[in-house]
Amino acid sequence: MPESSSLDVVMFSPSAEALGVDRDLVVADLGYRNGEAPDMVWELVDDLLPQLPAHVEIRCGFRILPSGSIDVGDDSFTANGMQFSTGPIIASQLKRSTSLALFVSTVGLQMERWSAQLMAEGDMMKGFLVDALASEVVERASVWLEQRVVDHIAPRGWKITNRYSPGYCDWAVSEQQKLFSLLPHQFCGITLTASSLMVPIKSLSGIIGLGPDVKRGAFQCSICDLKDCYRRRDDPGPAKEKA
Amino acid sequence: MNELLESLTRCVERGKVNSKSPYPPDLKGQDGADEFARKAIDAGIPPQEILSNGLIIGMQRVGERFRNKEIFVPDVLMAAKAMAAAMGHLKPFFQSDILKHKGTIVIGTVLGDLHDIGKKLVSMVIEGAGWEVVDLGTDVSPEKFLKAVDEHPGCVVGLSALLTTTMVNMESTVKHVKAKHPNVKVIIGGAPVTEEFALKIGADGYSSDPQGAVEFLNSRCTPN
Ligand code: B12
């Protein structure tokens, strides 16, 4: 059961199974197209997937800001009197939002320790695949969390925009400092370093616009400016959107 | 070219480690880089030739195919494993100075950043090109880079960062190292890094991929 508080903050610890980690997506994110990865890669991924539950400590959660507490401009928004310079791309997607969900998700420290340990033992391949799995799990956790936001605000008649994270589309990574200042201390066990790096590494932070008149926009890659990203997708296919 | 050397090249390129390795499936049961290196030495092929005309060529092809997105990280890791198996046989020649590295690169992820894998990958491909790599790990301070440069005279420096917020620490590192060693060459890389940024902070090179780092080292950082 989620933990709640008067701040309209909710936290979850879903299991790896609940997130539905998809082997096809893990392998596709390594760069292979049409499933054309070496058998060995498939075998190792299939071998590692069932070991996930023993290593992940998935935690994710959000805070819903009070209705009417945000003001969206052309290239920024203001929440709780704090200005966030998202740049025009994200600001335009947030237009019509009357509130925001601030979210984080993490797979925990255990996964990076596992990966590092495998590499230290000389098994670079497994260590690398564990790292890739961890990236996939944290993205799945964020997708899963999005649905929890939808459920949470549905009774208010609100809908959601896409997720947006500091560090994407002209929104500086350092603005995570402001974002975290609006969340409970060490929310979901995540700390932010002076250089705005989240620890554990396999963590994501961001916002989702909320309101009666918002809608989910185009697929994420199409608005991102990292044009030669090796994970760029033209078409996500059904239910396979990536952050 | 010598058949043994060609086999070595192919084994590195395909990531065939040794005869016991089931990967790649079409070479199952056949000798790998491990056996061919031994055979090449036993056949009296000079170690320098084994390295330059066998192994390094294989790894170069791997670096190029990775750059062209024909192969991906797992393939590079298998190639590096095959390379390492062969290098095990060449180790004594390095120790007795019959074989020499092309040079040394001191590499690390800059202060404030904990990302490790991209830098490790670059290190493997550089090693496969005949360079010695001194990996300082992650969250490396400018002082630590400087100390390593002091300890490895004539080395090149490689810096990695994955976030724009930690990328700025590349500048202080370049300044700190170059203040004492103005002739040390620095190459930088990582997802948010650009050529333009490299120029701005006074680095000597930038590459978005491991093979670019090798090309920089071979063309700009060797005496001849
Ligand atoms: C997977 C991924 C994640 C995963 C895992 C992160 C990890 N690395 O462990 C997760 C989902 C957790 C994640 C989170 C975040 N991410 Co992220 N992520 C990526 C992604 C898609 C791939 C990174 C990766 O693993 N690449 C594979 C490795 C092997 O490649 P690499 O490290 O880049 O190294 C290669 C090259 O860069 C180069 N290289 C590396 N070092 C060196 C050194 C030298 C000398 C040379 C020559 C070359 C070189 O060679 C390597 C091999 O080819 C990139 C986008 C991209 N296409 O790169 C974004 C990216 C790195 N993320 C980004 C951001 C913003 C974030 C977040 C801040 C978002 C957020 N607010 O939550 C967080 C930060 C997490 C934290 N702990 O603080 C931005 C960073 C840019 C910026 N603005 O600072 C990127 C570039 C995406 C973008 N579109 O802008 N992320």
- For residue B75, the chain A residues in CB contact (below 8 A) are 38
Q: CA-CA distance, A182 to B32, in Å (whole number)?
A: 57
Section B165-186 average pLDDT: 97
In 3-state terms, what secondary structure has residue A21? Answer: coil
Are A173 and B169 an interchain contact pair (Cβ–Cβ within 8 Å)?
no
> Touching check for B137 and chain A: CB below 8 Å?
no
Contact B23 A40 (CB under 8 A): yes
Q: Could you say which of B95, B123, B148 is where a domain stops?
A: B95
Q: Each residue of B118-132: pLDDT tens digit?
A: 999 999 999 999 999
Contacts of B115 in chain A (CB under 8 A): 201
| Exposure on the CB side of residue B94, measured as CA atoms within 13 A | 13
- Same-domain status, B75 and B114: no
Indicate whether B140 and B82 sit together in one domain.
Answer: no
Q: Residue B138 has which token pair?
A: 């992650």
> pLDDT digits over A174-196, tens only?
999 999 999 999 999 999 999 99
Same domain membership, residue B125 and residue B74: no
Cα of B117 vs centre of ligand 1, distance in Å, is 10
Residues B115 and B171 occupy one common structural domain: yes
Domain of residue B81: give its range: 3-95
A131 touches chain B (CB under 8 A): yes
Cα(A124) to centroid(ligand 1), Å: 19
pLDDT tens for each residue of A83-128 = 999 999 999 999 999 999 999 999 999 999 999 999 999 999 999 9
Does residue B127 sit in the same domain as residue B211?
yes
Cβ–Cβ < 8 Å for B109, B161: yes
pLDDT of A3 > 60? The answer is no
Contact A196/B at CB under 8 A: yes
pLDDT score of B222: 84
65-94 of B, contacting A, C-beta below 8 A: 69, 72-75, 77-78, 80-81
How many A×B Cβ pairs under 8 Å? 69
CATH number of the domain that B158 lies in? 3.40.50.280
B213 and B121 within one domain: yes
**pLDDT above 80 (res A236):** no
B92 Cβ below 6 A of ligand 1: no
Residue B140 DSSP symbol: B
Give the number of the atom of ligand 1 that is nearest the alpha carbon of residue A199: 77
Phi and psi at A38, nearest 5°, equal -55, 145
Q: How many domains does chain B have?
A: 2
For ligand 1, the distance from its centroid to the CA atom of residue B169, given in whole angstroms, is 16
Regarding whether B81 and B146 lie in a shared domain, the answer is no
Structure tokens at B135: 């990996």
Strands B104-109 and A203-211: unpaired
Instruction: Decide if pLDDT at B8 tops 80.
Output: yes
Residue of the CA atom closest to atom 11 of ligand 1: A135
Q: Do A172 and B120 touch (CB under 8 A)?
A: no
Q: Which burial class, exposed, middle or buried, applies to A227 when counting CB atoms under 10 A from its CB (0-12, 13-18, 19+)?
A: exposed
Supply the pLDDT for residue A222. 66
Give yes or no for residue A138 CB within 6 A of ligand 1: yes
The rounded Å distance from CA B106 to ligand 1 centre is 22
pLDDT score of A4 more than 60: no
Please report which confidence band the pLDDT of residue A5 belongs to, taking 50, 70 and 90 as the band edges. very low
Q: Given an 8 Å threshold on Cβ–Cβ distance, is B80 in contact with A124?
A: yes
Q: Does residue A242 have its Cβ closer than 6 Å to ligand 1?
A: no
Instruction: Tell me the one-letter amino acid at B52.
Output: S
User: What residues in A contact B13, CB-CB < 8 Å?
Assistant: none
Neighbours of A119 (CB within 10 A): 19
Same domain (yes/no): B123, B211: yes
- Residue A105 CB contacts under 8 Å (≥ 6 apart), including other chains: A58, A59, A60, A61, A138, A141, A142, A145, A188, A203, A204
Q: Which pLDDT score is estimated for A238?
A: 41
Query: Region B158-166: what's the mean pLDDT?
Result: 96
Q: For chain A, what's the residue count?
A: 243
Looking at residue A240, what is its pLDDT? 40
Percent of chain A, pLDDT > 90? 78
Mean pLDDT across the stretch A38-63? 96
* Per-chain mean pLDDT for chain A: 89
Tokens representing A213 are 């008149």
Same-domain status, B145 and B211: yes
Interval B148-176 mean pLDDT: 97
Stretch (H or E) spanning A164: strand A159-164
**Measured between CB atoms, does B112 come within 8 Å of chain A?**
yes
- Using an 8 Å Cβ cutoff, are A211 and A158 in contact? yes
pLDDT digits (tens, 9 = 90+) for B88-116: 999 999 999 999 999 999 999 999 999 99
The packing angle between helices B56-67 and B210-220, to 10°, is 130
B159 and B139 in one domain?
A: yes
Is the beta carbon of B18 within 6 A of some atom in ligand 1? Answer: no
- Note whether B62 and B134 are same-domain residues: no
Query: So what's the pLDDT on residue A224?
Result: 66
pTM of the predicted protein model? 0.93
Task: Give A129's contacts in chain B (Cβ within 8 Å).
Answer: 74
Give the DSSP letter of residue B13. H
- Answer yes or no: is the C-beta of B191 below 6 A from any ligand 1 atom: yes
Give percent of chain B above pLDDT 90: 97
Crossing angle of helices B142-151 and B164-180, rounded to 10°: 40
Per-residue pLDDT band for A215 (boundaries 50, 70, 90) equals: confident
C-alpha B159/C-alpha B138 separation (Å) is 10
Instruction: List CB contacts (< 8 A) between B69 and chain A.
Output: 31, 230
B43: CATH? 1.10.1240.10
Per-residue pLDDT, A101: 96
**Which of these three, B95, B123, B145, is where a domain ends?**
B95
The C-alpha atoms of residue A241 and residue A94 are separated, in whole angstroms, by 19
**pLDDT higher for B189 or A226?**
B189
Residue A137 near residue A106, CB atoms below 8 Å: no
Q: What distance in angstroms lies between residue B190's CA and the mean position of ligand 1's atoms?
A: 7
Buried b / exposed e along A89-114 (16+ C-beta atoms within 10 A): bbbebbeebbbbbbbbbbbbeebbeb
Q: Which atom of ligand 1 is nearest to the CA of A243?
A: 11
- Identify the residue whose C-alpha is closest to ligand 1 atom 21: A231
Distance, CA A96 to ligand 1 centroid (Å)?
31
**Phi, psi at residue A67, to the nearest 5°?**
-60, 140
Domain covering A4-232, topology: NADH Oxidase (3.40.109)
Q: Where are the domains of chain A?
A: 4-232
Q: How far apart are CA B35 and CA B56, in angstroms?
A: 17
Looking at the structure, tell me whether residues B12 and B88 fall in a common domain: yes
Q: Is the pLDDT of residue A68 over 60?
A: yes
Taking an 8 Å cut-off on Cβ atoms, the answer to whether B115 and A201 are in contact is yes
